[in-house]
Amino acid sequence: MSKKFMKVQRIEHGTVIDHILPGRAFDVLRVLGISTDRSMSILINSHSAKGGTKDILKIEDVELSDEEASRLALVSPHATVNIIVEGKVVKKFNAEAPVMVRGVLSCSNPNCISNQNEPIQSEFRLSLDSEHRYVCTYCQRDIVDLARRIRS
Amino acid sequence: MRHVISVQDFSAEEIIDILDRAETMVEIAKGNDVSEILKGKVLAAIFFEPSTRTRLSFETAMNRLGGGVIGFAGTEATSVVKGETLADTIRMVSGYADAVVLRHPREGAAKLATQFSDVPILNAGDGAGQHPTQTMLDLFTIRTELGRLEGLNISLVGDLRYGRTVHSLAIALAKFGNTINLVSPEGLEMPGEVISHLEDTGRFGKACHSPEEIIADTDMLYVTRIQKERFPDPVEYEKVAGMYRVDPELVSRGPEHMIILHPLPRVNEITPEVDALPQAKYFQQAFNAVPVRMALLSMVIGGQSNV
C-alpha cells in the first residue's frame, strides 16, 4: 500500500469546492447558507500542489448552482467547483465574482440607509477599477471586511 | 424622469447646461422679473435634518417660478416618529407633489427614495454622502465670479474628511480640468477614494496642513467649518481652528483676483473683517443657490416652456 493516504474520503454525490483561500471554508459555507449539520468534510490550510495552502470542502448531496458559485466567489474568488455524480466529476468550473450582489451582504457603513429597517435589499456593484472591490450602490462606500458582512 | 442624486450622475455638458439655465434665472431670483413656469406645480421639501439655506433657497426657487411648496423640517410632528419607513414616507409624499427635495441623516437615502417615488427626487444632502445642488451652485459661483470653470487652481481648506460638500465639489472641479489643493488638519484629510480619483484624473495639486503654503497660487479658496465635536480636547480644537482662520492678512497674500467661498454656516473660520473684501463671495454664493435650484426644478419638473 502506498504511503500516501487520503485525509478524507471521496464523496459519491455532491460538490467539492477546491482552492478556497486558506481559512475561508466557513465563510464559504456561510455565504452558501449550508449548515454544518449535514455530512461534509472540511479541510483547513491543506497543502496545495501548486504551493501554499488552501481550504477544501466536500459537501455530500449538494449540487452547487452557477448562482451559488458566484456567491462563493465573493469570499474566495478563485475557488474551483467540482460537481460529483456517482463518484465522477461531471462538471468543473471556476467561481466567478458576480458584477452585482443583492441581499447577500450587509453594508459595512453603519449609517448606510440599507442597514435601516427599510423594504429594500442591500446591493453592491463590483468596481470596474479593481480586482475584488464591492461598492454599495446606496452609500457608494467600499465594503470593508467582506467575509464578515455576509448575512447568515 | 430625471432625479438629482449625485453630481457624478451628470456629464460636464449637462452641468454646463444647468449653469446656463441658472444664468437666465438670476433676474427672476432677484424678483426683478416674474415667471410662472411652474404655476400649479407642487414641490415637497422634506427635511429630516436641520437646514437653513438649502431649505429656504429651494422654497424661494419654487415660489419665484410660480409653484407651491409643502413639507416639513424636523420629524417631531410627522409619522416618522411612529416608525414609518422612509420608503413609505416617499410613496405618500410623491403622491402629493411634482418633485421631492429630501434631506436625510443616512447615506444613500436619496437613492432609496428614487425607488419608491413617482416623481423626481432632488438630494439635498444624505448624511455624509452627496449634496449635488450645493456643488452646482458652487460651480455657478466660480464661473460667474472668475469667468471660467477650467484651468483654475482651487484650494479646499478645513474639514475635508466629514465636510460633505467638498467631496463632490473636488470631483466635479477635476472633471472640468482644474487643479485641486487640499489643506486640512491632521485627521481631517480628504478620504482616500477622493484623492485616488483626483490622482487618476491628473488634477491633484498639493496636500498640506497650512493655508499659507498654497494661498499665493490660489484662484479660489473654498473654506469649510472645522467642527468642535471632532476634537476630544477643546484646547486642541482652538489651536487647529486658529491655524485655519482666514483673516485679511492671509487674504492679502493671495492673488487679487482670488475669490473666497464657504458653504455656510460660518462660525469663526473666516473673520468678519474679510466680509468687506472684494474676495469674499460667500454671501453671493448663498444667493446663487436660488437661480441654480430654479434651474434644477424647472429641468426636472418641466412645465411651460417660456420663462
Residue in B with minimal Cα distance to A136 = B108
> Higher-confidence residue: B193 or B216?
B216
Annotated active-site residue B82? The verdict is: yes
Catalytic member of B3, B41, B54, B281: B54
Percent of chain B with pLDDT over 90: 76
Rounded to 5°, the CA angle A48-A18-A32 comes to 145
Report chain A residues whose CB lies below 8 A from the CB of B194.
none
Which whole number is the average pLDDT over B20-27? 98
Q: In what order do the strands lie in the sheet with A14-20?
A: A40-47, A53-60, A14-20, A80-85, A88-94
Nearest CA distance, A105 vs chain B (angstrom): 16
Q: Does A8 score more than 80 pLDDT?
A: no
Q: Which amino acid is at A31?
A: V
> In the prediction, which pLDDT does A131 show?
61
> In the prediction, which pLDDT does B305 show?
42
Which whole number is the average pLDDT over B168-195? 91
Nearest CA distance, A151 vs chain B (angstrom): 20
Half-sphere exposure for A136 (CA within 13 Å, toward CB): 29
Domain spans in chain A, listed from the N-terminal domain onward: 14-94, 99-152
CATH 2.30.30.20 at A99-152, yes or no: yes
Tell me which residue in A113, A137, A141 faces B106 most closely, judged by beta carbons. Answer: A113
| CB-based contact A140 B104, cutoff 8 Å | no
Which whole number is the average pLDDT over A81-109? 92
Domains A14-94 and A99-152 share a fold: no
- B100-152 tens-digit pLDDT: 999 999 999 999 999 999 999 999 999 888 899 999 999 999 999 999 999 99
Catalytic member of B2, B21, B24, B53: B53
Could you list the beta-strand ranges (E) of A61-119.
Answer: 80-85, 88-94, 100-102
**A110 part of contact set with chain B, CB < 8 Å:** no
> In the prediction, which pLDDT does B205 show?
94
Annotated active-site residue B2? The verdict is: no
Which whole number is the average pLDDT over A132-143? 90
CATH 3.30.70.140 at A14-94, yes or no: yes
- B228-250 tens-digit pLDDT: 877 888 888 888 888 889 999 99
Q: Does B33 score more than 80 pLDDT?
A: yes
The CA distance from B22 to A88, in Å, is 69
Residue A66 banded pLDDT, cuts 50, 70, 90? confident
Residue in A with minimal Cα distance to B112 = A138
ipTM of this predicted structure: 0.88
**C-alpha cell at position B170:** 473636488
> In the prediction, which pLDDT does A112 show?
96
The CA distance from A136 to B140, in Å, is 30
Nearest CA distance, A71 vs chain B (angstrom): 24
Closest CA to A95 of A80, A110, A111: A80
| CB-based contact B85 A112, cutoff 8 Å | no
Annotated active-site residue B54? The verdict is: yes
| CB-based contact B108 A117, cutoff 8 Å | no
Q: Does B183 score more than 90 pLDDT?
A: yes
- Chain B residues 106-125 with a CB less than 8 Å from chain A: 106-109, 111-112, 115
Residue in B with minimal Cα distance to A120 = B112
Query: How far is it between the farthest Cα atoms of chain A?
Result: 62
> In the prediction, which pLDDT does B132 show?
95
Q: Which amino acid is at A140?
A: Q
Q: Does A21 score more than 80 pLDDT?
A: yes
Residue in A with minimal Cα distance to B111 = A138
Q: Does B291 score more than 80 pLDDT?
A: yes
Report chain A residues whose CB lies below 8 A from the CB of B126.
113
| Helix segments in A17-122, DSSP class H | 25-32, 66-75
Residue B307 banded pLDDT, cuts 50, 70, 90? very low
Domains of chain B plus CATH, in order, are: 7-130+289-301 (3.40.50.1370), 133-285 (3.40.50.1370)
